[in-house]
């Protein structure tokens, strides 16, 4: 089976930066964009240029200086927004105008206070205008996850006819379930007459914790571009996490037949950088890049991992740049892990001394949260200094 390529559209610098408290200055954005390019993402959404002069400057510097990925930025479907995007991205080697306009009745009636017909007309005009400036135009019908299917199909058909080269299907509110969202992509392929003239992209939010699952369901049904962010940051509960999407496709490549161009060995480094720059910590149990993602604490797991890592690890930590798996000593640790850690520190105890050290360890581990190497040294010295065989 020949793997098909899934394109990674990184929106850390646009939707990610919309996380409360995450705002970045142009220097920070440029530094992150360089790292995203080294990581091998296909598209960088660098910002929302009309929102502030600082964001315009950030997008323009990224477009002028960062080589490799296509550079895009967000516009509403209005001429001043589109002009600002074009002026900021036009110097990039490869550029795209991305525009958003609502498609769900909830948004049309309660946010835009408009009608389907009027919104459709605005969308078509905006796409045609954007296409007169730029060869690549992406149209995002906002809140597609809650929209009327027939109106969505009609909108997609019309904007493709008007020149959209990518149609992005956003689950803006994170409402859909994976089978529904996958089904929506399949139904778009089946019902939009000219869909073969545009790439299908998806943009899933994480309000119900389903953004990654929904993105994967979408690519299984024909989407070929996924919009995501480093560490899953973004508006409210965030976006699909880039590292999760990429590692799902890589780890399950044989069953999915899909691949990305991301250099996965850089994921941990970029995750840490984005966390530092935005001030948003990565939760320890975060898949792929969390501090505990490759740490084993219970005796049963530690014993299994020490015998063969594949017992409990489906990815190698080095494949995502996370260094080595860790054996963490805790009251739930087993003797195997305890002996292993002592040996790593150079302590090889004879059986009698080992049993005494083990008992002291259990007693200490019940009282103390973190067992440090210094604690292990104290235990070893206390049990029987005479019986140590400390290698030179």
- Contact residues for ligand KIV (CB under 6 A)? 15, 74, 100, 140, 142, 168, 170, 172, 203, 205
**Nearest of 335, 11, 56, 391 to residue 201 by alpha carbon:** 11
List, in sequence order, the alpha helices (H) in the chain.
26-39, 53-65, 79-89, 105-110, 116-133, 149-162, 178-191, 211-220, 242-251, 253-256, 267-278, 299-307, 335-344, 351-367, 373-384
- Residue list 131-150, contact with Zn ion (CB under 5 A): none
Closer to Zn ion by Cβ: residue 95 or 205: 205
**Contact, 51 vs 80, CB < 8 A?**
no
Closer to Zn ion by Cβ: residue 229 or 271: 229
**Contact, 48 vs 55, CB < 8 A?**
yes
Q: Please count the CA atoms within 13 angstroms of the CA of 134 that sit on its side-chain side.
A: 31
Closer to ligand KIV by Cβ: residue 170 or 321: 170
Q: Which does 69 bind (CB under 5 to 8 A by kind): ligand KIV, Zn ion, none?
A: none
Establish if 55 lies at the interface with Zn ion (CB under 5 A).
Answer: no
Interface region with Zn ion, contact rule CB under 5 A, candidates 11-19, 71-79, 86-94, 326-334 = 11-19
Q: Which does 140 bind (CB under 5 to 8 A by kind): ligand KIV, Zn ion, none?
A: ligand KIV
Q: Which does 168 bind (CB under 5 to 8 A by kind): Zn ion, ligand KIV, none?
A: ligand KIV
Give every CB contact of residue 187 below 8 A, 6+ residues apart in sequence.
149, 153
C-alpha distances in Å from residue 227, one per residue of 120, 168, 196, 211: 24, 9, 20, 10
Closer to ligand KIV by Cβ: residue 104 or 264: 104
Closer to ligand KIV by Cβ: residue 182 or 234: 234
Establish if 158 lies at the interface with Zn ion (CB under 5 A).
Answer: no
Shortest separation between residue 151's beta carbon and ligand KIV, angstroms: 16
- How open is the CA angle 270-33-242, to the nearest 5 degrees? 50
Closer to ligand KIV by Cβ: residue 43 or 74: 74
Which residues, listed in sequence order, are joined to residue 97 by a DSSP beta bridge? 73, 137
Residue 163, helix vs strand vs coil: coil
**Contact, 258 vs 244, CB < 8 A?**
no
Closer to Zn ion by Cβ: residue 236 or 252: 236
Shortest separation between residue 76's beta carbon and ligand KIV, angstroms: 9
**CA–CA separation, 26 vs 271, rounded Å?**
19
Shortest separation between residue 36's beta carbon and Zn ion, angstroms: 17
Scan for tokens 């690890």, then name that residue: 313
Establish if 15 lies at the interface with Zn ion (CB under 5 A).
Answer: yes
Q: Which does 163 bind (CB under 5 to 8 A by kind): ligand KIV, Zn ion, none?
A: none
Q: Which does 42 bind (CB under 5 to 8 A by kind): Zn ion, ligand KIV, none?
A: none
Closer to ligand KIV by Cβ: residue 244 or 303: 244
Q: What is the sign, positive or negative, of the torsion defined by CA atoms of 24, 167, 157, 223?
A: negative
Shortest separation between residue 305's beta carbon and ligand KIV, angstroms: 39
**Contact, 310 vs 296, CB < 8 A?**
no
Shortest separation between residue 143's beta carbon and ligand KIV, angstroms: 7
Shortest separation between residue 166's beta carbon and Zn ion, angstroms: 15
Shortest separation between residue 247's beta carbon and Zn ion, angstroms: 21
**Nearest of 15, 80, 28 to residue 57 by alpha carbon:** 28
Q: Which does 100 bind (CB under 5 to 8 A by kind): Zn ion, ligand KIV, none?
A: ligand KIV
**Residue 262 φ/ψ, nearest 5 degrees:** -80, 135
Shortest separation between residue 307's beta carbon and Zn ion, angstroms: 44
Applying CB under 5 A, the residues found at the interface with Zn ion are: 15
């Amino acid at each position: 089976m020949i793997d098909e390529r899934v394109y990674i559209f990184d929106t850390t610098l646009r939707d990610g930066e919309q996380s409360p408290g995450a705002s970045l200055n142009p220097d920070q954005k440029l530094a992150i964009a360089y790292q995203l390019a080294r990581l091998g993402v296909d598209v960088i959404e660098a910002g929302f240029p009309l929102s502030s002069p600082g964001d315009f400057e950030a997008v323009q510097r990224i477009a002028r200086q960062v080589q490799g990925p296509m550079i895009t930025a967000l516009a509403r479907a209005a001429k001043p927004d589109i002009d600002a995007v074009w002026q900021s991205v036009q110097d990039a080697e490869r550029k795209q105008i991305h525009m958003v306009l609502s498609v769900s009745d909830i948004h049309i009636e309660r946010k835009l206070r408009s009608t389907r017909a009027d919104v459709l007309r605005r969308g078509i005009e905006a796409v045609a205008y954007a296409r007169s400036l730029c060869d690549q135009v992406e149209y995002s019908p906002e809140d597609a996850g809650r929209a009327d299917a027939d109106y969505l199909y009609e909108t997609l058909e019309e904007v493709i006819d008007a020149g959209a080269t990518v149609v992005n299907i956003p689950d803006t509110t994170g409402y859909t379930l994976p089978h529904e969202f996958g089904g929506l992509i399949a139904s778009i392929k089946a019902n939009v007459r000219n869909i073969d003239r545009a790439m299908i992209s998806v943009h899933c939010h994480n309000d119900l914790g389903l953004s990654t699952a929904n993105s994967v369901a979408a690519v299984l049904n024909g989407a070929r571009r996924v919009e995501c962010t480093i560490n899953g940051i973004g508006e409210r509960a965030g976006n699909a996490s880039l590292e999760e999407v990429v590692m799902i496709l890589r780890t399950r490549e044989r069953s999915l037949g899909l691949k990305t161009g991301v250099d996965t060995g850089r994921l941990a480094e970029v995750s840490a950088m984005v966390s530092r720059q935005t001030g948003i910590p990565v939760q320890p149990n975060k898949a792929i890049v969390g501090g505990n993602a490759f740490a084993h604490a219970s005796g049963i797991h530690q014993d299994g991992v020490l015998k063969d890592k594949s017992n409990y690890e489906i990815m190698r930590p080095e494949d995502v740049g996370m260094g080595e798996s860790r054996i963490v000593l805790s009251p739930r640790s087993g003797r195997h892990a305890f002996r292993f850690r002592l040996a790593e520190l150079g302590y090889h105890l004879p059986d009698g001394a080992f049993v005494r050290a083990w008992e002291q360890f259990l007693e200490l581990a019940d009282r103390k949260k973190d067992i440090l190497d210094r604690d292990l040294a104290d235990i070893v010295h206390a049990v029987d200094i005479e019986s140590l065989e400390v290698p030179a």
